[in-house]
Amino acid sequence: MINTKKMSVPSLLFLLAAGTIIAAHFQLIDLYVQTVIMFIGVNIILSSSFNIINGYMGEFACGHAGFMAVGAYVTSVLNIMFFTNSKTFGQAIFAPELALYFFPVTMFIGGVAAAITGLLVAVPSFKTRDDYLAIITLAANFIIVSLFINMDVIGGARGFMGMKQIVFAMEDVAYIPWMLIWVFTFTYFTVFVIRRFVTSTYGKGIIAIHQDEIAAEIMSVNTNKMKLVAFMLSSGLAGLAGGLFAHILGYINPNSFGILKSTECLVMVYLGGMGSLSGSIIAAVIFTLLIEGLRFIIPAADTLLHLMPIIPDTFHLSQVLKWVIIPLILVILMQFRPEGLMGNRELSDFFPKLKKYYEFK
């Protein structure tokens, strides 16, 4: 007998993903919408992986974008080096068609590289806690970005490009929206991995560290090892987000992985709620839609207000307002829900009836 409860979520997600991919393939949704959907995926990976540290483990790390950068650069450089002819790395080493099959491999290597970079903050976290650790993560973010700025081989501050060619190479094999497929796959993978981790007795060790580190250590939790695992898992998954991000845009620049990006990650985690996986996902969706939505709302509001005439002709509402409105919404939201949207609860805690229909483990 097929366990319907167990299969309900995966199959629903599968249908949703397949539907989107088919719609994209037959150009029922345009490229812009596809990009937004892909960014939602990337942001889900970022926020849920960051939640491991900032939510479940309760540390205040603030340099997530640094690890994303490592993943983005490593994956991109490997792909460009192996599968395209480029000025920097010369002739392709393998046939470009192989890019499709090796994409998960290079993504994985990027993730591993990011996880190893995670050691940069994981090892100090054994001794350092709280705001001092926050600084170490912040400094790590600055250091990683400035390392990439100083690597002229891969473009330095000008950035690194050519990843569209990889996407084209994949499309040469079969003309379907590959990136969309990869984003769905890796997003599902991330959420799946995190879910399995934090619901296991092993993974709950990090929640124990959050609530009382001394008790955790005395009750046989190897706190140093748990921190190592948590930081590496979190930064490794951020690396995956970076790899996807690079191939969606086709172009990366060290400065796009700076503090502002890390701030976005922080916002999503705390908006969703510390230690709530569904919160992270919901927050990532809302946040992305808000950013993209304001892109249209602001010019519309501008026209409207000029028609009304409420604001002077010389003044125009600019897109910059986006970064006033979003923080403002958050500030106001936090006044009403000072524990984030979901607190540390999951969707099924709010709607216990849902439990009848699914079991996601």
Q: Report 140-159 residues binding another protein (CB under 8 A).
A: 140, 142-143, 145-147, 149-150, 156-157
Return the number of the residue (19 or 327) whose C-beta is nearest another protein: 327
Q: In the complex, what is the shortest distance from the CB of residue 116 to another protein, in angstroms, rounded to a whole number? A: 16
Q: Which stretch binds another protein (CB under 8 A): 72-80, 176-184, 301-309, 312-320?
A: 312-320
Q: Within 239-278, which residues bind another protein (CB under 8 A)?
A: 259, 263, 266-267, 270, 274
Query: Binding of another protein at residue 204 (CB under 8 A)?
Result: yes
The single residue among 66, 124, 155, 272 that binds another protein, judged by CB under 8 A, is: 124
- Compute how many residues bind another protein; rule: CB under 8 A: 73
Q: Which stretch binds another protein (CB under 8 A): 71-79, 91-99, 125-133, 280-288?
A: 125-133
Query: Binding of another protein at residue 208 (CB under 8 A)?
Result: yes
Q: Within 37-56, which residues bind another protein (CB under 8 A)?
A: 54
Query: Binding of another protein at residue 311 (CB under 8 A)?
Result: no
Return the number of the residue (64 or 322) whose C-beta is nearest another protein: 322
Q: In this structure, are residues 136 and 119 in contact, taking their beta carbons and an 8 Å threshold?
A: no
Give the tokens for residue 19: 């539907």
Give the tokens for residue 29: 């949704």
Q: In the complex, what is the shortest distance from the CB of residue 96 to another protein, in angstroms, rounded to a whole number? A: 32
The single residue among 139, 173, 291, 305 that binds another protein, judged by CB under 8 A, is: 139
Q: Which stretch binds another protein (CB under 8 A): 38-46, 179-187, 235-243, 332-340?
A: 332-340
The single residue among 90, 335, 352, 353 that binds another protein, judged by CB under 8 A, is: 335
Q: In the complex, what is the shortest distance from the CB of residue 92 to another protein, in angstroms, rounded to a whole number? A: 31
Return the number of the residue (25 or 196) whose C-beta is nearest another protein: 196
Q: Which stretch binds another protein (CB under 8 A): 26-34, 105-113, 178-186, 326-334?
A: 326-334
SS3 string of the chain?
CCCHHHHHHHHHHHHHHHHHHHHHHCCCCCHHHHHHHHHHHHHHHHHHHHHHHHHHCCCCCCCHHHHHHHHHHHHHHHHHHHHCCECCCECCCCCHHHHHHHHHHHHHHHHHHHHHHCHHHHCHHHCCCHHHHHHHHHHHHHHHHHHHHCCHHHCHHHCEECHHHHHHHHHHHCCCCHHHHHHHHHHHHHHHHHHHHHHCCCCHHHHHHHHCHHHHHHCCCCHHHHHHHHHHHHHHHHHHHHHHHHHHHCEECHHHHCHHHHHHHHHHHHHHCCCCHHHHHHHHHHHHHHHHHHHHHHHHHHHHHHHCCCCCCCCCCCHHHHHHHHHHHHHHHHHHCCCCCCCCCCHHHHCHHHHHCCCCC
Q: Which stretch binds another protein (CB under 8 A): 19-27, 71-79, 208-216, 242-250?
A: 208-216
Q: In the complex, what is the shortest distance from the CB of residue 188 to another protein, in angstroms, rounded to a whole number? A: 14
- d(Cα 163, Cα 158) in Å, to the nearest integer? 15
Query: Binding of another protein at residue 196 (CB under 8 A)?
Result: yes
The single residue among 91, 127, 313, 353 that binds another protein, judged by CB under 8 A, is: 127
